[in-house]
């Protein structure tokens, strides 16, 4: 018997979300414990972290955190203020689709016979994806885009047996000359 591992809720094809979605960009000193202190602020305020990407910046002394959260929009300003007051936090901003570019990536491994491969490749092409692995019985597809595009791709690939998915969190960059 084969075990199937996915990032989606069983039977739904999608990750359940609670409350409004927000994307925060936080510049921090690259020090141990910073992430834990930031996560505690979200937890105390009843916000769920839906995605988290942390990477070192151009300067190794700093890291950029991009956090996708869901929760009551009423408490968002308070969270931003509390996070900004933390030691090692340089700044914390909320970004919207109007002022930033937000992308994520998903790898989807599907069971796919040679007879079904043409249809799977058409779906991949439609979403601007790329086949990154191909075997006689399966394939791995990489799709990048905003969250609704990635969700739609998962929905279309659900007509095949999805063996596994791995999804990055959101990455965000401010448009124009504005700093992220």
pLDDT tens digit sequence for 20-55? 688 999 999 999 999 999 999 988 888 888 899 999
Q: Are 28 and 69 in contact (CB under 8 A)?
A: no
Top-confidence residue, 15 or 36:
36
pLDDT value at 2 more than 50: no
Q: Locate 176 and state its tokens.
A: 């124009």
Q: What is the pLDDT of residue 5?
A: 41
Residue 19, pLDDT score: 57
CA distance 63 to 57: 5
pLDDT at 13: 43
- The answer to whether the pTM exceeds 0.85 is no
Residue 167 is predicted with a pLDDT of: 93
18 within 8 A of 70, measured Cβ to Cβ: yes
The predicted-structure confidence for 116-174, as pLDDT tens digits, reads as follows 999 999 999 999 999 999 999 999 999 999 989 999 999 999 999 999 999 998 899 98
Q: If you search the block for the tokens 């998903």, which residue do you land on? A: 106
pLDDT digits over 79-108, tens only? 999 999 999 999 999 998 888 999 999 999
pLDDT, residue 8, reads: 47
How many whole angstroms separate alpha carbon 18 and alpha carbon 64?
25
Give the up-direction half-sphere exposure of residue 23: CA atoms within 13 A in the CB hemisphere: 22
Q: Are strands 100-111 and 161-167 parallel, antiparallel or unpaired?
A: antiparallel
């Amino acid at each position: 018997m084969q075990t199937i591992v996915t990032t989606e809720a069983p039977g739904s094809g999608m990750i359940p979300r609670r409350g409004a979605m927000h994307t925060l960009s936080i510049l921090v000193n690259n020090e141990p414990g910073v992430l834990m202190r930031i996560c505690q602020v979200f937890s105390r305020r009843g916000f769920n972290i839906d995605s988290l990407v942390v990477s070192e910046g151009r300067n190794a002394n700093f890291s950029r955190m991009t956090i996708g959260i869901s929760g009551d929009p009423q408490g968002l300003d308070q969270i931003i203020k509390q996070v900004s007051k933390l030691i090692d936090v340089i700044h914390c901003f909320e970004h919207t689709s109007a002022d930033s570019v937000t992308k994520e990536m998903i790898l989807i491994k599907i069971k796919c016979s040679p007879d079904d491969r043409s249809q799977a490749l058409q779906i991949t092409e439609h979403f601007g994806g790329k086949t990154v692995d191909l075997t006689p019985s399966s394939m791995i597809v990489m799709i990048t885009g905003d969250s609704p595009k990635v969700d739609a791709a998962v929905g279309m690939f659900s007509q095949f047996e999805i063996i596994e998915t791995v999804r990055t969190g959101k990455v965000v960059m401010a448009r124009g000359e504005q700093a992220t």
